[in-house]
Amino acid sequence: MSLLNLVLQSAEANDPLHKTISCFAINQIASATPPRPHAFSLWSPVAKPAAPDQQGPVCDYTSWPGLTDRSFSGRHLRPAAQSEIDALPSNASCDPAAGQLGPVTALFQRTQMQTGRSSVLFSYFAQWFTDSFLRTSSTDRRKNTSNHEIDLCQIYGLTEDTTRVLRSMQGGKLSSQIVEGEEYPDTLFEPVPGDGLRPKARYASLPYVASGQIDTILKQQRVPAERKARLYATGLERGNSSIGYAAMSTLFLREHNRLCEGLSAAHPDWDDERLFQTARLINIAMLLRIVIEDYINHIAGHKLFVFDNSYAERQNWYRTNWMAVEFDLLYRWHGLVPDTVDVGGKKYEPSEFQSNNALLEQLGVAALLDGASNEAAGKIGLFNTPHFLLWAECQSVKMGRDFRLQGFNAYRERFSLPRLTDWDQLTSDALVKDSLKSLYRDIDQLELVVGLLAEQARDGALFGSLMTTMVAVDAFTQALTNPLLSTHVYNADTLTDYGLAQIDATPSLQALAARNLKPGQQARISFDR
Amino acid sequence: MSLLNLVLQSAEANDPLHKTISCFAINQIASATPPRPHAFSLWSPVAKPAAPDQQGPVCDYTSWPGLTDRSFSGRHLRPAAQSEIDALPSNASCDPAAGQLGPVTALFQRTQMQTGRSSVLFSYFAQWFTDSFLRTSSTDRRKNTSNHEIDLCQIYGLTEDTTRVLRSMQGGKLSSQIVEGEEYPDTLFEPVPGDGLRPKARYASLPYVASGQIDTILKQQRVPAERKARLYATGLERGNSSIGYAAMSTLFLREHNRLCEGLSAAHPDWDDERLFQTARLINIAMLLRIVIEDYINHIAGHKLFVFDNSYAERQNWYRTNWMAVEFDLLYRWHGLVPDTVDVGGKKYEPSEFQSNNALLEQLGVAALLDGASNEAAGKIGLFNTPHFLLWAECQSVKMGRDFRLQGFNAYRERFSLPRLTDWDQLTSDALVKDSLKSLYRDIDQLELVVGLLAEQARDGALFGSLMTTMVAVDAFTQALTNPLLSTHVYNADTLTDYGLAQIDATPSLQALAARNLKPGQQARISFDR
């Protein structure tokens, strides 16, 4: 990464060259690995497994459905031999609910929270953002239920049918409600005369309502009954999972409805449909800009990368989007989650934030986001996962093995990084090093999901070089390939002059939020704590 | 096209440079128009129209579903204003069944068949080939029901569920039957004890059987009842529409099953699934080679274009496949269809070839293809559509207008050709010129579906320069972008050394057919008559 660091430093010293340097750096990163389509995916010729967490199945050869069926996750590297997987240290006893971790999961367990340079807001955004495209099916882990695009499905849904249900069909706006003078998504349920709650009739056809999935999720999360009344109607089944997530969707919903008013003023003859469709495009473009200039630049630790669609289409890495299983597994940054969050001087447990929109409405969006921006998130790495998320680490380790992912060093090679030959090259952290040494034969045996978190962050990065490279490759090659950013599409004909000006004025989440807070309220909104 | 012609000539004189010149020519052609994604598609915010041939609806602005939902056809150019469509010459009275053509449809009517340099085999192949990707939905003309890929869905079906139904699940092979010592697809129906026919139980779940679509098609085509017993189980609902089509599917089915035997010999440990999946990939690659080196070279009139996957991925035109409505409308080459076909000294009417597999089996594949290769197809142009297809021309004209396609000159400009300013530039054919002049105000008013066929073919081309350019653009940018041809996929790991050698030995349909005819039989198989 020395070349990249050199580039990063010269960029900060040299603003007028920003675009050129950003373009050069992005091309370097995006070319670190062979482009899509990958020869392998999680497609396999077997009907879905009996249980979601059952072994594989895994296909060891290239096939037409494997090359074309994007309902299955892609994979960057072909499967490892089963014998390699069988030789890994056993983690079979993992059952955190019963107080048993298994020796590999124990590598994740937090004893004392380690903090990094990110704010809790960064963790809210990361969770909310990735939930739109890293969508492992709850019934078949081979599948990804997303559209493989950054498409704001958190507020618009995954299909046009869902979108239509979430729209007010008036002035282009999404359905919403006003609580204490602030706009929020509409509530999903209504009281049944006499007793209990039922989904509002207009939301009965939402996929996660019609299938009963929402009830399963509420049960799994042990959501207290009184919170159900305030759940929002959103695009995705996990849209209420935390109030940080709900606050992000709320911000972009407010922005959508604000854009509709601006568009309507500029184009008084437009109908509901055109206002809606155009506001949606502007809103997605804003998110893409925020992802590159605010979110990824935070990860990089430098204000380097620029939202610039001028060169991507001519690059060899400009390919059809297709999320890979490795991207899904690496993006499980549970270390970010703090033990408690301080808002307005009061400490909250993570469980108080789950599906608890009444708390969001009571605190208000400004106070919640301001608090989250000033609170330190945890560091992303081993020995930093809070106890209530250790079950997820069990699952990640199991999934990596069930799908026979190759090891950490094989992926380093695939992403143009040198293989490591010694534990000392991985990290100087004695606890991490000793723990790994006692489990793995040598560094060539280190499995991907562990190695990604074990590698030491250097030079101000948030995590080790393989995680940084893999995140950056998938982020750039799936954001800059968004169809909306095609040079023949991204223009005033599509977005209007008004829309282009709005995007120009939105280099950060702070800029988007500032115009969507309750009048008179202010908040510092930042991924840096 | 003068540069291209220069290139074509030097290529023939200069074989060792073939690849370089082919690459140069293909890049020139593929860059003639802006790449996908197009800002417009046939998506519109209205549920499907009440009747399939009802007006529009048409969306005049860019939207997220318009940019991403490939179940709707793409469009190269935004819709024309309704006022321009309203000003076109009326064709409302068109009803060929009632003997009424309408003045625009009258431009298509054949009086005396004009022949070109193509054989009837070329028309068989064109119909069979395009049926796999130009699949306008029978219930909603905005939609294309294909996978937007050249995927041999004629024999493999559009989904994995269909594929599985068509497989024998033995040795990788597709289900087939032997008739008079020749292999054909399996029959779809079986006799009901007592009376009539019913679909075989194993084919009941084929989409076109389950939906009843096959019965609708048989009724529409007025297929005599006795032909039903010999219909084949194929991947697509129109797989039996003519015996030319059925013969093509039969050839590729035989090739698939032959490849399975070769693969099995080279890899005795492979199971049915791996044999099937690998044979399918090799078969698709062969089709792609035949399309480029045999079919497109026939259209070009020169043996110029080479099956070469080495450069496409680096080009700006390398984009996600998405069939456009203009491509669908221009590919209606009804002029090719002769009034009668001569096989083995006997003349057959086109209706005798419809859904008549008993005739195919009686003639045999070799005799049918040999006869078709020696028989002249009609010329593609105005005044050459046989009477029984004039209803389809009514539909094309109506569809172009319902979706408000821009005019012939607008498309010339879009595809980097100069606008024509005078009828004399269009053609020297007095009948065509005078007929158009009497209908259209000036050449700027000429509508696309008429202009494409009116433009005179020059320099040995099969049709005018706009048709040539549009066909070539869509063919190259959708064939060379096939995921199988990606340089990281197209190799011996994916296709085996055996498979690569088979593809190497297959530069033409003749080569593929020769090894799949009944032993002892021979045929001249050529797109040139």
Q: DSSP string covering B70-121, please?
A: TTB-EESSPPPPHHHHHTSPP-TT-BGGGTB--TTGGGGB-SSPPEEEEEHH
Q: Which residue of A has its CA nearest to B489?
A: A39
Percent of chain B with pLDDT over 90: 84
Of A61, A277, A486, the CB nearest to B61: A277
Selected residue of A41, A58, A60, A62 to mutate for chain B interface (largest B Cβ count, 10 A): A62
Q: Please check whether residue B399 is in contact with residue B393, taking contact to mean a CB–CB distance below 8 angstroms.
A: no
| Of the candidates A322, A314, A316, A368, the residue with the CA atom closest to the CA atom of residue A517 | A368
Q: Count other C-beta atoms under 10 Å from residue B409's C-beta.
A: 21
pLDDT band with cut points at 50, 70 and 90 for residue A194: confident
* Model pLDDT for residues B206-233, shown as the tens digit of each residue: 999 999 999 999 998 888 888 999 999 9
Topology at the third CATH level for domain A1-151+252-346+377-529: Myeloperoxidase, subunit C (1.10.640)
Residue ranges of A 352-411 with Cβ closer than 8 A to chain B:
none
3-state secondary structure A309-344: CCCHHHCCCCCCCCCEHHHHHHCCCHHHCCCCEEEC
Report, in this order, helix, strand and coil percent for chain B, each rounded to 5.
50, 10, 40
* Model pLDDT for residues B173-182, shown as the tens digit of each residue: 999 999 999 9
Residue B82 corresponds to which tokens in the numbers above? 């309704």
pLDDT value, residue B473: 96
* Model pLDDT for residues B464-477, shown as the tens digit of each residue: 999 999 999 999 99
As a whole number of angstroms, the distance between CA B236 and CA B211 comes to 13
State the Cα angle at B477 between B475 and B479, rounded to 5°. 60
* Model pLDDT for residues A243-268, shown as the tens digit of each residue: 999 999 999 999 999 999 999 999 99
* Model pLDDT for residues A302-354, shown as the tens digit of each residue: 888 999 999 999 999 999 999 999 999 999 999 999 988 888 889 998 889 99
Domain borders along chain A are 1-151+252-346+377-529
Helix (H) or strand (E) run with residue A83 in it: helix A82-86
Four-point Cα dihedral A216, A219, A221, A223, nearest 10? 130
Q: Count other C-beta atoms under 10 Å from residue A168's C-beta.
A: 15
3-state SS class at A74: strand
As a whole number of angstroms, the distance between CA A437 and CA A430 comes to 10
* Model pLDDT for residues A269-309, shown as the tens digit of each residue: 999 999 999 999 999 999 999 999 999 999 999 888 999 99
As a whole number of angstroms, the distance between CA A20 and CA A277 comes to 33
Residue ranges of A 27-66 with Cβ closer than 8 A to chain B:
34-35, 37-39, 45, 61-65
As a whole number of angstroms, the distance between CA B148 and CA B321 comes to 6
Q: Which residue of A has its CA nearest to B62?
A: A494
CB contact under 8 A, B67 and A277: no
3-state secondary structure A92-154: CCCEHHHCECCCCHHHHECCCCCEEEEEHHHHHHHHHHHCCCCCECCCCCCEECCCCCCCCHH
As a whole number of angstroms, the distance between CA B217 and CA A264 comes to 48
Helix (H) or strand (E) run with residue B169 in it: none
pLDDT value, residue A459: 83
The sign of the torsion formed by the CA atoms of B389, B394, B400, B406 equals positive
Q: Please check whether residue A412 is in contact with residue A419, taking contact to mean a CB–CB distance below 8 angstroms.
A: yes
Q: What is the mean pLDDT of residues A17-29?
A: 92
pLDDT value, residue A223: 86
* Residues sharing a CB contact under 8 Å with residue B409, sequence separation 6 or more, in sequence order: B419, B420, B443, B444, B446, B451
Q: Please check whether residue B62 is in contact with residue B41, taking contact to mean a CB–CB distance below 8 angstroms.
A: no
Q: Please check whether residue A176 is in contact with residue A253, taking contact to mean a CB–CB distance below 8 angstroms.
A: yes
| Of the candidates A354, A156, A330, A336, the residue with the CA atom closest to the CA atom of residue A255 | A156
Q: Count other C-beta atoms under 10 Å from residue A290's C-beta.
A: 23
Complex prediction ipTM: 0.94
As a whole number of angstroms, the distance between CA B26 and CA B46 comes to 38
Residue A398 corresponds to which tokens in the numbers above? 């199991």
The owner of tokens 């019913």 is B198
CB contact under 8 A, A63 and B280: yes
Least confident stretch, A116-120, B95-99, B226-230: B95-99
CB contact under 8 A, B493 and A318: no
The owner of tokens 């920003």 is A18
Q: Please check whether residue B382 is in contact with residue B114, taking contact to mean a CB–CB distance below 8 angstroms.
A: no
Q: Which burial class, exposed, middle or buried, applies to B171 when counting CB atoms under 10 A from its CB (0-12, 13-18, 19+)?
A: middle
Q: Which residue of A has its CA nearest to B64?
A: A281
Percent of chain B with pLDDT over 70: 96
CB contact under 8 A, A64 and B484: yes
More confident site: A9 or A189: A189
Selected residue of B27, B48, B62 to mutate for chain A interface (largest A Cβ count, 10 A): B62
As a whole number of angstroms, the distance between CA A254 and CA A286 comes to 13
As a whole number of angstroms, the distance between CA A120 and CA A126 comes to 10
Identify the DSSP state of A71: T
* Residues sharing a CB contact under 8 Å with residue B309, sequence separation 6 or more, in sequence order: B480, B485, B486, B487, B490
Identify the DSSP state of B295: I
CA atoms within 13 A on the CB side of B182: 23
Residue B119 corresponds to which tokens in the numbers above? 């054989």
Average model confidence (pLDDT) across chain A: 94
3-state SS class at B37: coil
pLDDT band with cut points at 50, 70 and 90 for residue B1: very low
- For chain A, say whether B269 makes contact (Cβ under 8 Å): no
Selected residue of A64, A282, A486 to mutate for chain B interface (largest B Cβ count, 10 A): A64
Q: Please check whether residue A351 is in contact with residue A386, taking contact to mean a CB–CB distance below 8 angstroms.
A: no
**CA A400 to each of CA A78, A104, A394, B282, B440: distance values in angstroms, whole numbers, following the listed order:** 13, 12, 10, 31, 66
Residues of B in contact with A280 (CB under 8 A): 63-64
pLDDT band with cut points at 50, 70 and 90 for residue B15: low
Largest CA distance in chain B: 71
Residue B238 corresponds to which tokens in the numbers above? 């129109």
Identify the DSSP state of B442: S
As a whole number of angstroms, the distance between CA A336 and CA A113 comes to 9
Least confident stretch, A3-7, A70-74, B118-122, B168-172: A3-7
* Model pLDDT for residues B411-440, shown as the tens digit of each residue: 999 999 999 999 999 999 999 999 999 999
